[in-house]
Structure 1
Amino acid sequence: RSRKITGSVWREEFDDRPDLLHVRTVTFVPGDVTHSTPIQLIEEEYGYCEDVEAHNAIQRRVFHIIEGRIQLLYHYGRHRLLQPTRSFIKPADRDPTSLTPDMTQGFQPDPSVPEPTMAVLWATLGEELEAESLAQEEVRRAVEETHTLRSTRTSEEHNITLLPDIFDTKRNQTVQTILQERQFREAHREEEVQKKKDEREGKVDIIAPYLPLASEGMSLAGSELVRETCLQDLQERLAIRANLMQDRLDQ
């Protein structure tokens, strides 16, 4: 799909639309095109579906919005040099049944195709009026979409934000955070190891080795000896831990 804007003329090209619409050209009244700018005419070009008879398959459709007319050009019939046409003057009340014979003209190069009745023409006009309304809605959406894209592009051009590459280790904040965390872990690895070791040592019951020495019939002197031994062992452990902490502070 593409959209080309030249002044007040917009041309859109489509691919693989279910309705076989290939090109739509919209002519606005001269001036800056906005959502409320009046539309002069809409021209549409369609592909051909072989399942539909050529004289019923529209090739080109023109909505004269301001003039209140609709022109239809149908595909070539088999072995035909001319194309069927049909034009309508839209009723003021937009009621298809208000169409009179003097408000429509047609040309059919194939003499085997019967002249359409007024009922058929009313149905055709009703379909074209619906198609006209749908086309105008799509055009208005296209105008809004284009203005949104232009505004976004202008904002991006005036507020440029450069995103660092994921492999740029100096400017990528995420990479910097990861590296800082890694450096912190490396710097405190020995401290973490010693902390875990201290935690394991803290779970050891220092009195447990001396419990077998204690008994209910132990004398006061024996109890004092066990107590002094436990305290001496605890002091030695605390001294070793204090020395380790001092060594870390010195480093």
Structure 2
Amino acid sequence: MERKVALVTGGSKGIGLALVHRWVQAGHQVITCARDAACWQTVVDRHPHLSTVDFKAVDLARPDQTQAMFEAIRADYGRLDIAVNNASPKLQSGGTFAQVAPDDLFQTLVDDLWAPARCLQHELNLMTSGSAIVNVSSINGLRPTPSAAMYSAAKHGLEGLTRSVALEAMQSGIRINSVAPGVTWTPRWEQKQHDTPTIREDVEKLVPVGRFAEPDEIAEAIEWLCSDRSRYIVGHTLVIDGGLSLK
């Protein structure tokens, strides 16, 4: 298998970490980033084979840090073959829209639309024909989401960005797609379980298949979309939600 240079934003936990594991095992040069370097070090201590990953401590909401990361990627590798825009910090703007602080609404817009949009722009400028990008959206980018309206709006925006830029990038042979996960059992849900011990069982009752997705199930779909096996798929959103969006 050809060794590729792959970037996964938000690769220290959940879906991003599952994808990092997969691509390290495949022999690719993996680059990942997160805000918390100590968290990444804990991951490497637990999984020593991930020491080959080029980790960047970056706050993607900071344009200067994002710029510096991509300049380093260009200097060290000269290119990207694969990029997955997965990072999505803890939601700051939950609650009834009319009551949420404007600064919190803006932060969600930056975290979940502006930051991945800037990453997408940088990634395209490091890619040539045959490269692939996947944006990690959400089923909340395909349906209304009361109590998380700005998050939903940002993910709807990411869906529109994916499709629009996909048509532009395809002229250079670069494929862009997205995945829209449903409920996926990640550390964020584990934290919620501390306050609501029955949350897993309660939410699973709402999912037609009767369970959460595992991070590796989403990672597997992303890996496929980045591979030549999906070479005729462009500007598509792959919904991975156990039937939740059908209800």
The TM-score range, normalised by the shorter chain, is under 0.3
Structure that is richer in helix per residue = 2
Greater Cα radius of gyration, structure 1 or 2 = 1
* Larger relative contact order (CA 8 Å, sep ≥ 6): 2
